[in-house]
Structure 1
């Protein structure tokens, strides 16, 4: 396995594309498979082509793409690669219509976003600015393509290794890791990251009960007890279970912070809670901040800790046991990071 690093100035920093060509076993490659594809920008496509050339390949040589999820920085170049090579594109069934460029699915995702912006209490002027930002960056998703959907548990034979699809929703509805049981490692996309905590609530508004789903996914990763995880951004994670447990505990702490904000401010919108937690936000983070606040408020509302009245949330329990709302990860290791 080889890694190609691609620049990304819009989302969460450097992107990784993983090249599976069989050469690590000393033989001739049976096929050229990529995990993820990078964002649809000309300079990023050139970086990908250059990285492949350094490994003795061309874009036209790509046989298959395994996509961890639908976000543009992971799937944007899929259509261009398929146009060049005829590659088969595999993506979880929940994300398949968006990667394929299905117009009805794209319009529905946009409709849900705008509905959530109002539900979060986002000011009208900010909503307009965010919609404009998203529309201006719409081309990053790339051109339409044909996809082959898969489901949790499906297996892919790749040059003598078996990769099993492990569905890990939360950050995205279809987010999937590809687990190599033989090597006890996995390509995890944005399920866990070495620097940031993956956004939950704003990154994919289609996900219902987003924090609950994400916590379940973290527990799945902990149970896998991998030796290594290859994330969608930045560097290899050497203790994936420890990292997942650290992120879970971070969400317990953040939920407590949300309770503190409501205690200080009284009934508040997700937008107001976001401002208290994160301050002023810019670019894509105008989507992610209130989405994150909403995910935690939604989790508290499901537990009866807060009550929702229209766009506002108020404490129904003045002294909640926040830790009881989350499962014990079962391990005490802490893998710290530098970031949010």
Structure 2
């Protein structure tokens, strides 16, 4: 009988700031780190965690290790509405008096993703058909979601935060930094006095965050993401605390590494186009991935398709590729110019 992997211990990462690991179910990741910030009037969280049956109890235990309780929570700063970051928000609101904060672009997607009235599955199928995915596979891919309509409690924000806003946290300077790409309304939260930033899924220490085109994305998510990466340097020297993996001592250097990764990937996508692949599905199948696509669960195959599509759209923005309407859409390389 398999058992869930043990969670790492609660860790104090800065004075008055703790990393609280909470479990994730049904994914390749064992846990997400939410962060507890001690302020003059109580505690605040960065992200809420995945709504597993034990998550609220484990959050309470993590807060206890930091010298607090659920009753001490005053607010939750949500980086984005993916279920491992937003999923527990409704239960936290029910159990406490804490407010929930999101970027307005993220708040606008809550009902589209999680309402039982949502037509998200049909929108995903339409996108998959345009991407050239065979009908025999598109139904499976569109139905495979970590959390979709009806799966988690809907919690609309009490507070909307835009770029540069300072949430009301007495005794702490926290600044919202809009970093679209992974999602349209993704936020990082900067701590200027500590030379630190809570990075959410914008920066990861080892992996490259998934930047996908799809029904819930902006029209050109990779261009958004690359601009957001360049903006990290504007914060000055920062240690980044992401939601997954490990702390990043030099956020700007990691952002530069990710820019170079995507430059290399754009060149690879151009080569695949020049070799004759035309649809998103065909291009995706020719790219090098860490694991064979046929061995991946359906939701990760869809993520790979979305990332491929995002790179094709970036090439079109750069004038290096064109697309015909379809369905399926057909892509072509138009020049040998660089993509920088």
Q: TM-score, normalised to structure 2's length? A: 0.85
Structure 1 position 10, deviation (Å)? 3.8
User: What is the aligned counterpart of 2:42 among 31, 39, 42?
Assistant: 31
- Aligned mates of 1:147, 1:116 — CA distance in 2: 32
Alignment match, 2:297: 282
- Aligned mates of 1:9, 1:103 — CA distance in 2: 18
User: What is the aligned counterpart of 2:33 among 13, 16, 25?
Assistant: 16
Cα 1:63/1:142, change in 2 over 3 Å: same
Alignment match, 2:330: 312
- Aligned mates of 1:6, 1:150 — CA distance in 2: 25
- Aligned mates of 2:222, 2:157 — CA distance in 1: 31
Considering Cα pairs closer than 8 Å and 6+ residues apart, tell me whether 1 or 2 has the greater RCO: 1
Alignment match, 1:196: 207
Which consecutive residues of structure 2, in runs of 5 or more, have no partner in the other structure?
A: 1-16
Residues matched between the structures, number: 315
Structure 1 position 137, deviation (Å)? 5.5
Alignment match, 1:269: 279
- Aligned mates of 2:117, 2:102 — CA distance in 1: 16
Cα 1:50/1:227, change in 2 over 3 Å: same
- Aligned mates of 2:219, 2:322 — CA distance in 1: 18
Where do 1:166-315 residues align within 5 Å? Answer: 166-202=177-213, 205-264=216-275, 266-277=276-287, 278=289, 279-280=292-293, 281-309=296-324, 310=326, 311-315=329-333
- Aligned mates of 2:42, 2:334 — CA distance in 1: 58
Which consecutive residues of structure 1, in runs of 5 or more, have no partner in the other structure?
A: 23-28, 325-340
Per mean C-alpha deviation after superposition, the further-off stretch among 100-109 and 132-141 is 100-109
- Aligned mates of 1:230, 1:106 — CA distance in 2: 36
Q: In 1, are the aligned partners of 2:114 and 2:150 still within 8 Å (CA)?
A: no
Per mean C-alpha deviation after superposition, the further-off stretch among 116-125 and 250-259 is 116-125
- Aligned mates of 1:190, 1:87 — CA distance in 2: 23
| Root-mean-square deviation over aligned CA pairs | 2.4
Q: TM-score, normalised to structure 1's length? A: 0.85
Cα 1:267/1:100, change in 2 over 3 Å: closer
